[in-house]
Amino acid sequence: MFGFLGTRLDGGYRARRWERWRPTIDLCLQPELRVTRLELFAEASHDDLAERVRADLREVAPQIEVRVHQLGVEDPWDFEEVYTRLFGFVRSYPFQPSREDYRVHMTTGTHVAQIVWFLLCEARHLPGQLLQTAPPIPSRARRGERIGLGSISLIDLDLARYERIAARFAEDQLDARSFLKAGIQTRNVAFNALIAELEAVAAVSRDPILLTGPTGAGKSHLARRVYQLKRQRGLVDGELVEVNCATLRGDAAMSALFGHVRGAFTGAVQAREGLLRRADRGVLFLDEVGELGLDEQAMLLRAVEERRFLPVGADREVESQFQLLAGTNRDLQAAVRAGTFREDLMARIDLWTFELPALADRPEDLEPNLDYELEKASEALDRRIALTRPARQAYLEMGRTARWARNFRDLNSSVRRMATLSQGGRITLADVRREEERLDVSSNPREEGGERALERGLEAHLGAAAAAELDPFDAVQLAYVLEVVADSPSLSAAGRVLFAQSRERRRSRNDADRLRKYLARFGLEAGEIRAGGRPRV
């Protein structure tokens, strides 16, 4: 129970002799609440009254531990001061919501204190329930007799008048979004909206959350921040258990996820807890969840819905009150249609889905993330790393056309390379030009950088003059054919990819011959393409 000392109402006579209703003591004696600990807020000027309440409770309810706290509030009617003090207290309080229930007593304290209690509970900074007490109906008790217990009830508050503290609350919501975004620098409007909605869900909901997006978009990082936010808000008090489902294969997958009993299979010389059990009262993050087998998916579905599952070889179920985060770079809906992902599991984890955009789709975010990576590189190399002005401009221009196939992993690697090779911590224009050769530039012909990459690829095989004579249609088609041939082990294999649809309708399925004739139109041979090409002059 949390509450302020009632500087007037909690006075009165000694225990067993009071005639006046005392809300704090009355609250602790309510049989349906079974209070075991009272966190009582009282300033130094009321120490004597706080000690009297503690002594009276020791007499009538010795099982209750009473802790008296001084917040150091100078003006109890100052919204900002009261909010800041109470907010700091609850942020550092060791809540254990899976083991304890929390109530907040609203009858005592100023109206400012009451509204702050409401905001802290509404935002789940304090995972408790608001209560108020009321005195008993007047009786004909003789003087000196103890009056009966009062009543308790849930309450709600009208926040319309408290615009200033509501603004402070909104500021705290922004702080929470900043908390989630730590390490994810963004100016992108859509991504900021996604973070805002994710914060709103993560701060109050225990439902599964699915994070989708390409490799390197930041799913794992964001999952860790979601866990820390949930722990901060008192929604979990267990640990974060991260699992890369792509590493789970065969019979070992069941054992790793759900555990096993001793002797469950050959080699099981001792029991294993399992990752789901380890995540009890915490968060289980299943990265690349689409890689799980169908059997594991079926058991996971039951564990998510019922919080119970059967370890391998066991005849008794175990329980785990975990909250699920899942991540994937696959199209799970397509996997459902293909029969490789269970539709019922998809329905269960698709309640809250957040798709993280690729770096290439957030060109406005390249500069803040470049600065973030420079700070990381400076810390790792123990020296200050900075770009010269021409180098920064050139890198940003290059970055807007780069593919960033592995997203932030590519950006991190790129900055780390330049920082390591820089002289005296200064990344110059020459350093950026060298790095440009290492990066994979987009081959999208609709973008200026992609057009130049396409031209360079064709020039390497045809020569500059012949490449310049190609129609745009032929240039795009030939560039794609060259890419497939270069990546294929044989001409036949490349033909099967390129002619996958039409080969079924043709009498002849000699894909290699068909492809050879196409290349001959441009004076090309497959062997030199797979070998890396021979630039022509």
Q: What does the alpha-carbon distance between residue 299 and residue 341 come to, in Å, rounded to a whole number? A: 13
pLDDT class for 79, splitting at 50, 70, 90? confident
97-109 pLDDT tens trace: 878 899 999 989 8
* Look-up of token digits 């929390």: 102
Mean pLDDT of 74-78: 86
Count of domains in the chain? 4
In a domain, residue 341? The reply is yes
180, 305: one domain: yes
Structure tokens, 426: 């200064």
Structure confidence at residue 185 (pLDDT): 62
In a domain, residue 536? The reply is no
Q: Report residue 206 CA to chain centroid gap.
A: 13
239, 330: one domain: yes
Asked whether the beta carbons of 438 and 429 are under 8 A apart, the reply is no
- Tell me how far apart the 2 most distant CA atoms of the chain are, in Å: 115
130-161 pLDDT tens trace: 998 888 876 544 554 455 688 888 765 454 44
From 315, 334, 355, give the residue that closes a domain.
355
Q: What does the alpha-carbon distance between residue 455 and residue 443 come to, in Å, rounded to a whole number? A: 9
Structure confidence at residue 447 (pLDDT): 42
Strands annotated E in 79-194: 103-105, 129-134, 151-154
Identify the three-state secondary structure at position 155.
coil
Q: Report the 10 Å Cβ neighbour count for 65.
A: 12
298, 384: one domain: no
From 161, 178, 210, give the residue that closes a domain.
161
In a domain, residue 384? The reply is yes
191, 301: one domain: yes
DSSP label at 159? -
Backbone angles phi, psi at 382, to 5 degrees: 60, 40
Domain interval for residue 419: 359-438
Instruction: Name the least confident of 4-8, 320-324, 436-440.
Output: 436-440
55, 120: one domain: yes
Are β-strands 283-287 and 240-244 bridged in parallel, bridged antiparallel, or unpaired?
A: parallel
364, 459: one domain: no
In a domain, residue 524? The reply is yes
Structure confidence at residue 451 (pLDDT): 53
47, 142: one domain: yes
CATH number at residue 394: 1.10.8.60
53, 141: one domain: yes
In a domain, residue 9? The reply is yes
332, 459: one domain: no
111, 227: one domain: no
In a domain, residue 537? The reply is no
CATH number at residue 338: 3.40.50.300
383, 469: one domain: no
Mean pLDDT of 481-489: 81
Q: What does the alpha-carbon distance between residue 343 and residue 243 come to, in Å, rounded to a whole number? A: 22
Q: Is the whole model's pTM more than 0.85, yes or no? A: no
273-288 pLDDT tens trace: 889 999 999 999 999 9
15-53 pLDDT tens trace: 444 457 889 988 888 888 889 999 999 988 888 899 999
pLDDT at 324 over 90: yes
Residue-level length of the chain = 537
In a domain, residue 483? The reply is yes
126, 187: one domain: no
From 333, 355, 377, give the residue that closes a domain.
355
Query: Which of 238-252, 419-433, 434-448 reaches the highest mean pLDDT?
Result: 419-433
Among residues 232, 224, 376, 343, the alpha carbon closest in space to that of 285 is found at 224
Helix (H) or strand (E) run with residue 283 in it: strand 283-287
pLDDT at 215 over 50: yes
